Structure 1
Amino acid sequence: MNRIETLVLLAGTELPSRAIRTQIASAVNVIVSGGTGSGKTTLLNSLSSFIPKSDRIVTVEDAAELKLDQPHVVRLESRPANLEGKGAISIRDLVRNSLRMRPDRIVVGECRSGEALDMLQAMNTGHDGSMTTIHANTPRDACARVETLVLMAGFDLPVRAIREQIAGAIDVIVQVARLRDGSRKVTAISELVGMEGEVVTMQELVRFEQQGLDAQGTVKGEFVMSGVQPACLRRFEEVGVAFDAGLFSTAPGRKAVGTTWLR
């Protein structure tokens, strides 16, 4: 199965698959969020294949799972301490060192500690199109999880400052889940659009609505489009990525959810 087929399988249909591929090509910063076994790394691997071949990519992982075919890829792996407790190289060490390797994009297999702070700083300092995964059940939970991980870096940062970093760094959160029938699917695509007071504001672009099970026990459902244009549409135009302006619109037979301001 090739990367496009994998992406379509996880996304459920060609429509959300096209939306995600467009965002990757236009260098938006993406977080893939989901629970254990939901397909986060599989999706990240598929998304990474749509990065242009001209980009220099640095991947950071605990164990090499990403299989990128681009010619300019630097792969970094963490290392545990030896029997004497020395020589450990953490994910955070690698993320900080990757910034010295002139990457166009940084792809971190999973953020689970203080490296989230370094990842946000990288996204905010010109490394557009960077990606990572995180354990969370919803896009809103993913933002809260990033906030918690940043605090684990050991710096006494104000909560508002952290949230401003999150709002400025992350463009899109792709939520994946393992459904009751064992299948894995993209269940939501949400976009961060800024701050409103002390709250990071998000709008939902696509949502998968479950509609029960069929006779074989397979989850039934449909993708519901928001009917709003993504705020990153200007980015598509700036980098010259072809984009169907009606992709997120409410077409006949496609249910609209409107703009969802998540708090």
Structure 2
Amino acid sequence: MLRYATAPGSSSFAEFVRAASPELLPHRLAEHASVPHGTTIVAATYRDGVVMAGDRRATAGNLIAQRDIEKVFAADDYSLVGIAGAAGVAVEIVRLFQVELEHYEKIEGTQLTLDGKANRLATMIRGNLGEALQGLAVVPLLAGFDLDAPDPASAGRIFSYDIAGGRYPEQYFHSVGSGSLFARGALKKLWRPDLDREGALRVVVEALYDAADDDSATGGPDITRGIYPVVMTATSTGTERVDPAELGDIVRSILADREARPGA
């Protein structure tokens, strides 16, 4: 281990771990990964940047494995990552991705561009391909505020992935996970290019509500337990997690509207 610690540093923390202790990489931990799977993640751009939200349910077959899992994280100061798929492996990949971005910044003295972050995450997902083919797939969603964008109004960007590490820029909004089909349908109806922060929060929460209405693996807001989606924004001022109290008000407003129009 000592010769790796004293060797010239690489800007990739993942490459360092692969050389020094490959058994610590997420794909090597797959045999110990938990069975539960995390589901639906949605993201949408708005006037100030981008918002990402994830429901709180993890499932193991037909059982609810966890009611309050967190699937949306700040990757660094200006980007967000959401996970769907095998929960144990997905969380390990997110942790490694966070350290990867921090390590690059320390070695190079500057942050990766948003495209660079998207490429690094694609490499990590590609490294999990063998396990994905055995059922331990991880499908993330990356969103962030692009500091290099010529127009701040269009600086919010979203990237989706496939299990082989394919990276795909998305326009306006996107969703992944078992409830993504229903969530995307809601996003198509609700999203507008002039959304402000309040409007964007309502859109993503309502999209998750629609997903939960039709997909049993997606958890809806649980007012009794006070469990609401994890919602985060990325803007020119950085990443921010939306306060549960604010989400509670949005959820109650949505429920009141649905109660008035139960067939909608």
TM category (shorter chain) comes to: 0.3 to 0.5
- TM-score scaled by length of structure 2: 0.32
TM-score, scaled to structure 1 = 0.32
